[in-house]
Each structure stands twice: as C-alpha cells, then as structure tokens.
Structure 1
Amino acid sequence: MIKKSTALVAALLVSGCQMTDEPHIVEINEQTPADYPAAQPYEVVNALTLDALSEQQADLEELPVFDDVWERIRYQLSIPVPQNRPIVTERNYYNKHQRYLDRISKRASPYLYYIVEEVEKRQMPIELALLPIVESAFDPFGYSHRSASGIWQFMPETGERFNLKQNWWYDGRRDIVESTRAALDYLSYLHKTLEGDWLNAIAAYNSGEGRVSRAIQKNRKKHLPTDFWSLDLPKETTAYVPKLLALADLLKRQDEFKVKWDPIVNAQVVDVVDVGSQIDLALAAEMAGMNITELYRLNPGFNRWATDPDGPHTLLLPLDSIEQFSQQLAKTDHKQRIRWQHYTVQKGDSLSVIASRFDTSTQSIQTLNELDSHIIRVGQALLVPLSEGNIDNEQLTAKMRKATAPTKKQTVHYRVKKGDTLWDISNAHDVTIQQLANWNKLSANAILKLNQKLVIHKTLQDNQPSRLAQSARSITYKVRKGDSLARIASKFKVSVEDIVKWNKIDSQKYLQPGQKLKLNIDVKRT
C-alpha cells in the first residue's frame, strides 16, 4: 500500500561523488539548558489562521514556474546581506571553489526540492534551504567529532528533543524527511523564542538558544543593540551566519561573480512508500530494481540490513520504481520480507548471544518467531534473520559504513614537525582545517611553530582498526585430511562459531579436504 507525501525530492539518485574534508562544516555544539522549556509542536508554535493559510496559498500560486530549484530559491531570497568583512570573506572563499559548489549540487539534488517545498509551506525564509550546505555540505552520512549527524547535523540530545528516533536499527537524524521536519521545527521555535529575529535564530541553531539568549540579555543590560551583528558570541557562531548569507548572496549575484550552480530539476521524482512491516533492505532494493547503494542513499536513516521492526516502515523510492516495487511487495508475505535461516538452540545460548552471533537484534528474533519472552530452551528451533543486506555490504561506500558504525572518541596530542601546516596535519588525521584551528584556538591560516603542541579530537568507529587490532589478518585456509572445525579453531586461536559465521557453513557437516575457509586471525597470537 502506497502512502504518497507531498512533492518530495528533486533528483532521482545521488551521484557516487564523496568528499573527505569539506570546508566550513559546522555542527550544533551546545545543548539547551535544563531550565529552557521543551519545544512545542510545530502546529502550536506556528499556528496559522485559515485566512493566513489562504493568503499563503495565493502567494505560492503567484510564483513563476521554474525548471531549476536553485532559480526557485534565488527568486525568493529576502534576508538583507550587508557587505561587511565576514560576509565578503566567506563569499570570496566559496567563489574561488567552483568545484566545491558543483559537488554541493550533486549531493543536494535528491533532497533540495523537498526542503524548499517544506520551507515554503511554513512561510519561512527560503535562505534556510541553504543551511545544510553550511552544516554538512548536504552529506547525509556526515558525522562530526561531537557526534552530530545528518544533513542538518543534529546532536543526539537535540534529536531526541525534536522526536528523532535513534536506536540500533535507525537514526532519524539522517532520515531526510524526518530530520528536515525536526530542523524546521527547531528553527521555528528559536525564531519565536528569540523575538522574531531570524539571524539570531540561525545563530542559536549553531550554538544553542541558551548562549544566544544570554548574549542578548548581556547587551540589554548595557543598553546595546541585540541584533546578531552586535552580540558577543563564540567565534564559530560569528562565522556561521555569514557563511549562510554569503552563499545566498553568491546565488543571488551568480552572474556578477561568474559562478555556476548546476541545475537541479524542479519536479518530484521520488515518493514515500509505506511498506507496512519490517523489510530486508537488500530485498527491497531487488523489488524496486535498484542496487543496495542507491537505496541507502535515498534512505540514509537506516543503520542495519533491515528497517526497524517497530518502524518507521516507509521507504523513499524513485517514482518510476514504485509500481514494480508495490507489485512485488503485494506478493510477499510479511515473514518472507526478512531473509532467515533455521537455527537450533544450543547449551549456553540466549537470545542476545544468538543475536550477536548473527548480527541482528533480540527483538528481531522475537518478532520473527512470535516469542512472548526472552526464554528459550536447548533444542528449540528458531528462525534467525540473515544479514545479507548488512550495512557493511561491499557495494556501499566506506563513508556509509563508517557513518552507521558505533563510535568511540579519541584525543590525540600532536607535536608540530618541521614543514608542517594545518592542511598537512588535518589531512593526515582526517579532520578539517577549521576543526583543527578551533580546537587549538588558531586562525585557519596560522603559521605553526616547531614542536608546538596541538590537540586533535578523532572519532573512531567500531569498524575502524585500533592499534591493538592492526595485527589482524584475513587468510584463506585449505582444509587438510583429518581437519575438523574444532582443530582448525584451536590452531588459529579463534572460535568454531566464528569460522561458521565467516564462511556461512553448517557446523554439523564434515569438512572436505581441499575445501577453502576464510579465517580472520591475529598474527601476534598464532
């Protein structure tokens, strides 16, 4: 059954282009103080009368028809852009990096149309549709060292505050539709809280309304202006708003500055499909006639090989794939939407042990087997979900796999060597120049001194090798006469269960001489 949303996204698929160290990526870096009230639902914050809605609809109908979404945005730009030094500096930077703007267009192409539609519906400044450029360069798998994620770079706590579900299966901060709803809810709330000043609201999106409110109160006590340009805010925030305005100015005066914004078709080409139950994403891709990478690019909120058993059960699919997908879905029983295998419970097993062994969750096993509790018994037959569509699938880019892996933080203390620059060090440690400069209270073009000490905050994923794991090797072992799983496991200091999992073999069947097995071993232990 299909549930269609309003017009959603502009281009069919994102290109394979990936960026490593994007300039000017900023994340929300201060959570709301405990004494601030929770945000009200959008309908309460932005209640409109029927007359106002009618006027809004009339305004939208008067818009010219555009073929290109960038032109649609350009026509509606309304926030005044002062030609001050911060804005000119940021505009000149973007103006010198046409290739960066080209990459932005490619990344934004599946999402920008939908975002523009939502901004227009709420009668918010169209400039807000450009905010994901500043936040994440429109990379849905972008992940900051402070744990901000998605195109709108929500921190976990802020995401929870605005009802973005986050669990083992799914991260709503990366879901395009849900994160856009939450971001516009947050900005609407900030606009109301900060007395209708959009620049202050945008600044608060970066640094938190508590910090901006305190800066406003401080100026009031001194009888000073309380506009954004007059506030004493963190360096990162004072650069954040000029970046957005610089992009708007560059779009508005693109002919004058001789820059090009690659066209994004101003039409709906994808829609939301309600699947109605959990589904293996690799199977869903097959049903839609897509590859798994394409599906994940349109649905970046999913962390695992399947959708969350408890939902959401919606997928974003190309319009020309929906009919085929729906026909295939109607023929597929709910149980068949998850690929599974038979498993017999062994001594020492629990649902959590089995789930860990097969890279799934206890909840998924319970749902598939219709179990009322976690209690299982030796010899009991279970259906266990297979993870053939795992996020670690080799078809996916490294950045996709990295974004969905659990994270660990690491602080590195670096001593500057002869000839080092911020660019060299940031490139070597997979961080941006701006991040490195901010952490060490330096300017982005600072000249480093020999033996100067720098702090680098790195985010490690569980699928990244640690120093301890760098001795791990993957080998192919040819089975010899007399070999058994137990004998091979003992020889290479691994478990029988691991060998079975790595090679997807039946532990009850005998090995054959000459049979090849994949083994992941620690060379320091063998």
Structure 2
Amino acid sequence: MTTTDTLTWGLNLARAPRLLIISLGVLLTACVSQPSRQQAVDYRASCATCTADRQLTVVRKTKAVAPEPLPSLPEYQDVWERIAAKLSFTDIARHARVEKLEDWYATHGHYMTKVSDRAGHYIYHIIEQLEARDMPVDLALLPFVESAYDPFAYSHGRAAGLWQFIPNTAKYVGIEQNWWYDGRRDVLVATDAALDYLSSLNQRFDGDWMLTLAAYNAGAGTVNKAIRRNKKKGRPTDFWSLDLPRETERYVPKLLALVKIFRNPASYNITLPHVEDAPRFAKINTGGQIDLAKAASLAGITVEELYRYNPGFNRWVTAPDGPHYLLIPTSNAAQFQTQLAALPEKQRVRWTRYKVAKGDNLISIAKRHHVDIASIRRFNELNSDMLRIGQELLIPGGSQSAPLDNLNRGVASSGRQQRKYTVRRGDTLSEIAKTHSVSVNQLIRWNRLDQGALIKPGQQLSIWTNASAPSGIVRKVGYKVRNGDSLSAIASRFKLKVADILEWNGIGRSSYLQPGQSLTLYVDVTRADL
C-alpha cells in the first residue's frame, strides 16, 4: 500500500463514525421533534414506522440502549383551551344572524367573564360527560344560553336549573320533583337528563344539530310543523329557512356566536377567568338524610358553597328518600368523608319537640316549622291527622333556617316583609311614615287611603319593610301578562301573594291587567313549583 493509499484509508476510517453519527442524528430528528399542540393527536400514528426504524438502528449500534418513550400528549392550560381545541360547530356558525349576537357578546366582556367564572364550578363535569358520550363539546356552552350557568335560574315559563327544564319535560325525562328536592337543579341529574334528551332529539332529526337545538328550545313538534310547512311550499328545511318562534330563531345563533367567541376569545378582547381543567367536586355517598349546615361544617366550607354544588335541595336538609349523596369541593372531599364517618347517627338531623296547643293542626304546625305534613306524619308514626292537646311531636329542625343570603342575585327589592301597625291616639300618617322609614304616599297606596284621609286609633295599617333575609333562593323574573291572566292566577302560579305583586310593580288592587303588560316578580325557586 502506498503512502497516499494509507492516508486515504486512514481518512475514510476517521470519517466513518462521524458519518454514522450524522446519519443517525438526521433519522432521530425526524422522529422525535416535539409536536405542536395541534399535531399531538396525530403524533403516535405519524411516527410509528419511524420509531421502529430508530429502535433497529440503535440496536445495531449497541444493544444496551433502550428505546425512548413517546412524549405524552399535552395537557391543556385550562378548561377554555380544552373547549377551544374541540369545538366542531364553527363551520355552521357563518351567518348574519350569528354575527349580530357575536357583536353583542364581544361588547359585553364583563358579562362573559362573570358567567364564565360561574360556569367554572360545573363545566368540567359537563365536558367529561359529553366526551364520554361522543357528543360535541360545543354543547357545554348551551347553559350559557339557557341559564347563564346559574343552577338556580328560573324563567317566566317555570323552567329551572342549568338546563332549564319545565315541569312537564322534567317529568317526561324522569327527573324527580318533590317538596324536599328538585332534580331540575341537581347538576348531575339535570346534565344526564339533558344529554339524554339532546341525543334523542338528534337521532330524531337525523344528526342535524341545529334542528336538534331548535327542538330543545321550542319542542320537537314545533320544529316538525315548520319543516312540514316548508316541504309543502317546496322550500328548504334547514334551520335558517324555517319559520320558528322568535325566541328559537335567536336561541341557536346565540350558541353559535358563543362557539366562535370561545374558539378565540382573545380576538374579541375577552379575558376569561382561569378555570383549571380538573374536577371541581367529588360525589360523596351520605348514606342517608343529613342537615346541610351540618354537612357544610363537616366539609369545612360555607353553607352557601355547599348549596352552590348541591342546588337541587329545597330545604335545609337532604331529602329523606334520597338522593343520598352530596357534591363536595375536591379539596374538601377527604375531610368530609372522614368527619361523616365519625358522626353519630343522632347528630345527622336536629329535632325539635313540640307540644300540641289548642287550635293546632298539622297544617299550622308544618307551616310554622317550615316542614311538610308528610314528614311530621312519618317521623311521628301518625295514622290520622287528629291531634291531642299536650301531645308531643318530633319536628325535624334545621341548624340554620336561612343560610342562602349570598346565593340570591338581583333581589334587593324583593326582600320585603309586610307588617301590621295599629294606630295609636295622636298618630299621624307623617309620623308613622317617618318612624318606619317610608313615605306618606306609600302608606296611602299600601292601604288604599284617600289623600287627606283621617286615621283612627285602633285602625290597622299595612307597612312594607325590608326583610333581614329571604327565606329561600329568590330570582327576579320578568313576566308578560297573557290573555285570561289575573293577579290571583299569577300569584298562585308562582306561589306568591297578590299584595307582593302589587307592591313590587306599584299598581293598585283595582287595576286591570293588560295582555303584554310586563310585571316584575321575585320568585322563591325552592317553592314555586310545589
């Protein structure tokens, strides 16, 4: 071998490891470059062959090196990022009607932030349920439209809860409603029923989600009638072509506008509150009835927070016949389970001993203690409604009778109580008004007095004063008077007093209601549909 040949052989020998390393580097780079968030789902499939080649190449070099694990799929920064990545209605959201509502949401960023914050308590659970059923994640935005994500929301049509079931539909889908409990407001029960109902409607309308949503709002019969009308006229039968109720014609575009906004909220100058993409509550079996204030104490949370996660209960205690579970914030779940297990059975519910007095009956006793007659009968094993003077009754008595102050929204004018004032010698309307911090005109209106009327000792006057706290969960409801309505009929429908309706709306008892007239009502949603 010549000197030149020796040098060439030596150079080639020196280059060989470098060339092998460079070749391996190029091959590995093609396989292990970190995918973007959008490419993450396709990563495993796209690199399957590449991975096998990489492992074979490494084995040839040295059998001691194990194959590298695939990078884990990316976790979302928060629940909004998760939703944005999975929205699927964006292609059907291009319409002038959608753009108008899109503009409204975009100019009401404060509202969007407030409702999104409220949604943070429940939306993770709803997304999980949608994905488990292989339903569009877009539907997690539907409670924004239905109830502004308020589980205590109540409409003039008597719809209640996150998903706004009316009593008849609730009965149709199997939701329980009784004196103790309203499943329409139960986050788990109502969500399960709503998704079942939406799935059923979607099958009925051949997978058309716009018609499905229209039917959820207006009823399947209404949508089918509109479709038949268009077919007879030879017109298209898609949602945009149908003649539907005005509310429904806005309902579907509202959801589609939200889909566009949540796809990229920053482009609308909307900042959403951080909501972790993780469970907010745990479902804990209570094994029986329990005082809600006691349960809150065991969990180390406020009663208001407990009701926020368990809005289905109408009373201060869980229902005797169930459901026997509570939703507890995840950070407090372990503490609640430990404390509940150590709680003696007798301390689960507080009891009051009541001695029957002259004139008492089950109705008056139940009303006085805010409990239903059936419970008094059951707990005292009564075979009839006959009571004896001196007889002792066990009455379930809550440890906190009005724990719901902070859950009442927009009810500043509703927390009013009527009291009777007996006129004394020397009293005048101006003095009485001043003493009770009301105006003379209010006294005149409340008592239907003539201007300048004289009051007499012993005469009783009605005076409305601010109450210290509402007795339940109160929501402001706008109601439009319909043909045939009367004050007594409206009061009966919403479990109100005629005098309250008159006071809230500044109208006289002799006033006639007109169809289309707007009334403001303050409805206790825990009692309205009983």
Name the TM tier (shorter chain).
Answer: 0.5 to 0.7
Distance 2:377 2:122 in 1: 36
The change in CA–CA distance for 1:264 and 1:137 in structure 2 (over 3 A counts) is same
Give the counterpart letter for 1:301 in structure 2: G
Report the counterpart of residue 70 of structure 1 in structure 2: 80
On the 8 A contact 2:78/2:277 being kept in 1, the answer is yes
Give the conservation status (yes or no) of the 8 Å contact 1:145–1:457: no
Deviation of 1:367 (Å):
4.0
SS in 2 for 1:311: coil
Partner of 2:176: 165
Match of 1:317 in 2: 328
Q: Which amino acid aligns with 1:288?
A: A
1:355 aligns with 2:355: no
Cα deviation 1:19-41 (Å, max 9, x = unaligned)? xxxxxxxxxxxxxxxxxxxxxxx
Give how far 1:288 is off: 1.0
CA deviations 1:344-365 (Å, max 9, x no partner) are 2234433333211111122333
Distance in 2, matches of 1:155 and 1:334, equals 37
**Structure 2 counterpart of 1:114:** 125
Change (3 A) 1:277 1:167: same
Note the alpha carbon deviations across 1:121-162, whole angstroms, 9 max, x for none: 111111110000011111111111111111111111111111
Aligned to 2:408: 397
Quick one: which amino acid aligns to residue 84 of structure 2? R
In structure 2, distance between residues paired with 1:364 and 1:399: 33
Q: Would you say the 8 A contact 1:287–1:324 is kept in 2? A: yes
Do the aligned residues in 2 keep the contact of 1:408 with 1:462 (CA within 8 Å)?
no
Output one character per residue of 1:229-261: Cα deviation in whole Å (capped at 9) or x when no partner.
111111111111111011101111334333322
Q: What is the root-mean-square deviation of aligned Cα atoms in Å?
A: 3.2
Look up the equivalent residue of 2:81 and give its one-letter code: E
Shift of 1:282: 0.9
Alignment check: 8 A CA contact 2:126 2:140 kept: yes
Pairing 1:455–2:517 present: yes
Work out the CA distance in 2 between the residues paired with 1:75 and 1:125.
12
Matches within 5 A, 1:413-424: none
Q: 1:290 to 1:170 in 2, by over 3 A?
A: same
1:477-492 map, 5 Å: none
CA shift at 1:386, angstroms? Answer: 1.5
Alpha-carbon spacing, 1:162–1:363, altered in 2? closer, same or farther (3 Å): same
Match of 1:205 among 201, 209, 216: 216
> Mapping of 1:312-461 within 5 angstroms?
312-371=323-382, 374=385, 376-391=387-402, 394=405, 396-397=407-408, 404=473, 455-461=517-523
- The higher relative CO (CA closer than 8 Å, separation ≥ 6) is in 1
> Shift in Å at residue 379 of structure 1?
2.8
Pick aligned residue for 1:236 from 233, 241, 247? 247
Aligned partners of 2:409 and 2:475 also within 8 Å = no
Alpha-carbon distance between aligned partners in 1 of 2:476 and 2:143, rounded to the nearest angstrom: 23
How far 1:65 moved relative to its partner?
2.3
In the alignment, the residues of structure 2 paired with residue 222 and residue 278 of structure 1 have an alpha-carbon distance, to the nearest angstrom, of: 59
Written as runs of structure 1 = structure 2, the 5 A alignment for 1:4-19 is none
Whether the 8 Å CA contact 1:359–1:387 is kept in 2: the answer is no
Counterpart residue number, 2:301: 290
Evaluate the alpha carbon distance shift between residue 122 and residue 162 of structure 1 in structure 2; reply closer, same or farther with a 3 A threshold. Answer: same
2:159 is aligned with 1:148 = yes
Partners of 2:471 and 2:139 in 1: CA distance: 28
* TM-score, structure 1 as length reference: 0.64
Give the alignment partner of residue 114 of structure 2, picking from 103, 108, 111: 103
CA distance in 2, matches of 1:329, 1:407: 36
Match of 1:183 in 2: 194
How far the C-alpha of 1:211 sits from its partner, in A, is: 0.4
Query: What SS does the aligned partner of 1:173 have?
Result: helix
Alignment of 1:265-276 (within 5 A): 265-276=276-287
Cα separation, partners in 2 of 1:63 and 1:163, compared to 1, 3 Å: farther
Report Cα offsets for 1:62-89 as digits up to 9, x if no partner.
Answer: 9742131111111111122343210110
Query: Which residue of 317, 342, 350 corresponds with 1:306?
Result: 317
Query: What runs of 5+ residues in structure 1 fail to find an aligned partner?
Result: 1-57, 414-428, 432-451, 464-526
Aligned to 1:252: 263
3-state SS in 2 of match to 1:186: helix
Q: TM-score, normalised by structure 2?
A: 0.64
Percent of residue pairs bearing the same amino acid type: 45
1:208 & 1:105 partners in 2: Cα distance?
Answer: 27
Give, as a single letter, the amino acid of the residue that structure 2 aligns with 1:65.
E
Q: Are residues 405 and 454 of structure 1, via their aligned partners in 2, closer, same or farther at CA, if it must alter by over 3 Å?
A: closer
Q: Could you say which structure has the higher helix fraction?
A: 2
Give the total of aligned pairs.
370
Q: Structure 1 residues 397, 240: CA separation in 2 closer, same or farther (over 3 Å shift)?
A: closer
CA distance in 2 between partners of 1:72 and 1:152 (Å): 22
Superposition pairs of residues 19-34 of structure 1, within 5 angstroms: none
Q: Report the Cα distance in structure 2 between the residues aligned to 1:67 and 1:261, rounded to whole angstroms.
A: 12
SS at match of 2:92: coil
SS of corresponding position for 1:342: strand
Contact 2:201 2:212 in 1 (8 A): yes
Displacement after TM superposition at 1:189 (Å): 1.1
Q: Is the 8 A contact 2:161 2:186 kept in 1?
A: yes
For the 8 Å contact 2:292–2:316, the answer to whether it is kept is yes
